[in-house]
Structure 1
Amino acid sequence: MIRLDDLTILVLAVDNGSLSAAARVLNIAPAAASAAIKRLEAELGVRLLARSTRSLALTQEGERYLQHARRALADLQAGQDALALGRQAIGGDVSLSIPSDLGRNVLTGWLDDFLTEHPAVALQVRIGDRLVDMFRQRVDVAVRYGEPQDSSLVALPLAPDNRRVLCAAPAYFARHGMPKTPDDLRQHNCLLLALSDTTHDQWTFHGASGDGQAHVVRVTGNRIADDGELVRRWAVAGHGIAYKSRLDVLADLRAGRLQAALTDWRGEAAPLHLICTHRLTLSPTLMRLRDFLQERIAGYLADA
């Protein structure tokens, strides 16, 4: 029978780089940690770790098994947390990851208001557009555009109907003209976002006829960034055309700093979600945060 503490030692050994480090975390002897891995390997009938005196690496079987071990431990912890949900008040530490542009210019102000309403909550905020490993970096929830690539994560909708908007500064359009069709973008300087070594240079539009046909155009430009806020700043400064989430540029559009283009085309879907590792990990604090953000986003979109 597989023991819970053996799974814990496996995960800690991988996360900390060695069995000795895992033993120190658990305050046990290194020999006990080594015995736990041997016991687990014997139970499964495969070798999980290729280890020497100085290094430790997962075997192919170990790679496959690790995700199941993590999920099993998370489910057990979630079960303990679920039993206590009814007794919990809104409060405690929350680690939150938010995207660069929306995070700095919209969400941080709302989070200030959330903390004013709930002074027993303490927030640790990570800002950036690169996806975080919510298991390794111990992030409770993340605000992200699109569906999570990891199917084991849970995505709760915050703005399910949000879409991308093609936009640039009025001065840019005055110099270079307004595109009439998506294909016209090939003649424009497009401001690009690059994440995880992938440059998002294929922009998708849908015709206003509602026939569901997608029109994809590959664009180019002389400015590429891994930070969404920088892309928006370039657009406001008149350096080119950006294809941004409407939530990111709504204030600029309303103030006239940016002007929307191709408004008779529907932009690419960019739903905003609150992402967590498991539905049972949603404490009353996280549920209140989800409701709070939903209310603020709805009001933000509805403001004249």
Structure 2
Amino acid sequence: MDMLKEDKLSGVATFIKVVEAGSFALAAERLDLTRSAVGKSIARLETRLGVRLLHRTTRSQALTDEGQGYYERCLRALAELEAAEADLEAGRLEPRGRLRVSVPLALGHFCVPPVLFDLARRHPQLQIDISFGDRRVDLIEEGFDLAVRIGALPDSPTLVARRLGMQHVSFGASPAYLEEHGTPRTLDDLEAHRGIGLSVAGTVVSWDVTEPDGRPRRVPLRPQLSMDDIQAVAGAVIDGHGIAWLPCWLLARYVRSGHLVAVLPAHRIASRRCRCSPCGRRHGICARAHA
């Protein structure tokens, strides 16, 4: 079957080139062949088809009636082949299939979906499955193509990480809380206020702050409330239970709505160097995918 298909196409491109060039000599030049090779190719094609396609003399050539009809059909066939190749090329360039993405809860709800929604809008053949959760996922075992996480990542010989951006965090409190307890003006003032902590694996994350002059400092934190979900922490702050540090993208959202006020905005949580060797960047938002 493969040989038959090859034989049916043999000589067709040469025949079209001869017709378009108007002579065997010019066609041979354009094809980078000898005039003899072009003549033999046309002769083999005519023998296979059992008809004469061209009237040839030493000075001119012209299509026979059969040659004219065959030429027109060959042009249509080649146009179809070119269109098929273009479709295949477009298929290779157009993302398609299923993309499974794991994202953190709060960041995933507020920041990641707009990016993925835009991706889906631009590539309708792409099916995107988004999973929300802060737990550590096994990309390979659970079938994820990509995971977005905040913080340091462990070394991995099979996965790669890329920093998507830096996350800064600042202190925030509700207007009602500040009206009742006063607004802290210095880091020392924070020790007299109720703090709300973020816990990771049962341990409350310390408030490691960068002073305006760049010096690091740890602010004592003995929270009455601590939670392992940053959105829940924000909810407790909005409800007036104390002061907490919140990521800039979340704090800014509630400052704009009037639910929270930025406290000590000149101070922000100190960033830590990411220990993930594939990433090799500072503590930030990292995406990790299969190597």
Pairwise same-fold verdict (TM > 0.5): yes
Whole-angstrom distance in 2 between the partners of 1:150 and 1:138: 20
Name the counterpart of 2:41: none
C-alpha offsets along residues 181-205 of structure 1, whole Å, 9 cap, x if unaligned?
33332322222222223221x1111
Pairs within 5 Å for 1:220-239: 220-239=222-241
Unaligned runs of 5+ in 2: 1-90, 272-282
Whole-angstrom distance in 2 between the partners of 1:249 and 1:102: 12
> Is 2:195 the counterpart of 1:190?
yes
Corresponding residue to 2:290 among 272, 277, 282: 277
Specify the SS of the correspondent of 2:111: helix
CA contact (8 A) 2:171 2:268 kept: no
Specify the SS of the correspondent of 1:247: helix
Name the counterpart of 1:264: 266
CA contact (8 A) 2:216 2:270 kept: no
Whole-angstrom distance in 2 between the partners of 1:177 and 1:193: 23
- 1:102–1:89 distance in 2 versus 1, CA, 3 Å: same
Percent of matched pairs sharing the same residue:
31
> Is 2:104 the counterpart of 1:99?
yes
Which amino acid is 1:206 matched to?
Answer: T
Whole-angstrom distance in 1 between the partners of 2:255 and 2:198: 20
Specify the SS of the correspondent of 2:139: coil
Whole-angstrom distance in 2 between the partners of 1:172 and 1:105: 25
Specify the SS of the correspondent of 1:251: helix
CA contact (8 A) 1:147 1:155 kept: no
Q: Shift in Å at residue 166 of structure 1?
A: 0.9
> Is 2:154 the counterpart of 1:141?
no
Q: Shift in Å at residue 215 of structure 1?
A: 0.2
Q: Shift in Å at residue 151 of structure 1?
A: 4.2
Name the counterpart of 2:160: 154
Whole-angstrom distance in 2 between the partners of 1:188 and 1:136: 45
Name the counterpart of 1:179: 184
Give me the TM-score of the superposition, normalised by structure 2: 0.59
Whole-angstrom distance in 2 between the partners of 1:240 and 1:130: 26
Pairs within 5 Å for 1:79-98: 87=92, 89-98=94-103
- Count of residues in correspondence between the two structures: 189
Whole-angstrom distance in 2 between the partners of 1:196 and 1:154: 24
Q: Which has the larger radius of gyration?
A: 2
Pairs within 5 Å for 1:1-304: 87=92, 89-152=94-157, 153-160=159-166, 162-200=167-205, 202-210=206-214, 213-269=215-271, 271-278=284-291
Q: Shift in Å at residue 150 of structure 1?
A: 3.0
RMSD of aligned C-alpha atoms? 2.2
Whole-angstrom distance in 2 between the partners of 1:194 and 1:222: 12
Q: Shift in Å at residue 89 of structure 1?
A: 2.9
C-alpha offsets along residues 41-64 of structure 1, whole Å, 9 cap, x if unaligned?
xxxxxxxxxxxxxxxxxxxxxxxx
CA contact (8 A) 1:130 1:195 kept: no
CA contact (8 A) 2:251 2:262 kept: no
Whole-angstrom distance in 1 between the partners of 2:96 and 2:112: 19
Which amino acid is 2:237 matched to?
Answer: A
- 1:113–1:89 distance in 2 versus 1, CA, 3 Å: closer
Q: Shift in Å at residue 108 of structure 1?
A: 2.7
Which amino acid is 1:149 matched to?
Answer: P
- 1:169–1:205 distance in 2 versus 1, CA, 3 Å: same
Whole-angstrom distance in 1 between the partners of 2:186 and 2:135: 31
Specify the SS of the correspondent of 1:148: coil
Whole-angstrom distance in 2 between the partners of 1:120 and 1:134: 23
Specify the SS of the correspondent of 1:240: coil
- 1:137–1:187 distance in 2 versus 1, CA, 3 Å: farther
Specify the SS of the correspondent of 2:256: helix
Give me the TM-score of the superposition, normalised by structure 1: 0.57
Whole-angstrom distance in 2 between the partners of 1:129 and 1:249: 19
